[in-house]
Amino acid sequence: MTIDNNHVVAVKYVLHTIEEDGSKILVEETTAENPLTFLYGVGMMIPKFEQNIHGLTAGDTAAFVIQPEEAYGEKQEDAIAQLPIEMFGDGGLPPVGAILPLTDNEGNNFQAFVVDVTPEAVIADLNHPMAGKVLDFQVEILNTRPATEEELSHGHAHGIDGNEAH
């Protein structure tokens, strides 16, 4: 069965970033025992990732590169927030390097990366951690099947076999 919209797809992949000097840095690797399983065509994945695997079948492999503008965008140097110290209350201040879960005024959840802590504020980078990165994927399609009605109504895959873990 070939990958198409509203299919559940399970992939094993290796993701590297390609640095400016041409070197590669390993970012993430999944296995056949713990694959990435997702509902294809509903906006869960980078559109260019989905384009590169469209029409493949179980057992197929692919290697492709996705440029920043087709992945997480270019890094925005002005996407820095100064979060007041009072915002952190008695929980203590996060260390430099911590990832903060935040919510914007519209209720969208996102993450910020702590780059500095001063007596007045926690300085956080609001860029996606992969912003500005060239992504190099090697993928193997493990399985594809039509999504169940329940998966479609929930808007996500319930695992490689259609059973949601509880």
Could you confirm whether domain 7-72+131-152 is CATH 3.10.50.40? Answer: yes
Buried b (16+ CB within 10 A) or exposed e, 69-107: eebbeeeeeeeeeebeeeeeeeeeebeeeeebeeeeeee
pLDDT of residue 166: 40
Cα gap 21→121, rounded to integer Å:
35
Cα distances (angstroms) measured from residue 51 to each of 32, 100, 105, 157: 22, 31, 32, 19
Question: Residue 103 above 50 pLDDT?
Answer: yes
Cα gap 64→41, rounded to integer Å:
19
H or E element in which residue 116 lies: strand 109-117
Residues of the chain with CATH 3.10.50.40: 7-72+131-152
Q: Which pLDDT tens digit goes with each residue over 111-166? A: 899 999 999 999 999 998 899 999 999 999 999 999 999 998 988 888 777 665 54
**Residue 7: pLDDT band with limits 50, 70, 90:** very high
Class of domain 80-125: mainly beta
Residues of the chain with CATH 2.40.10.330: 80-125
Q: Which pLDDT tens digit goes with each residue over 87-100? A: 888 778 999 999 99
Q: Which pLDDT tens digit goes with each residue over 39-59? A: 999 888 999 999 999 999 999
Supply 66's token pair.
Answer: 């996705």
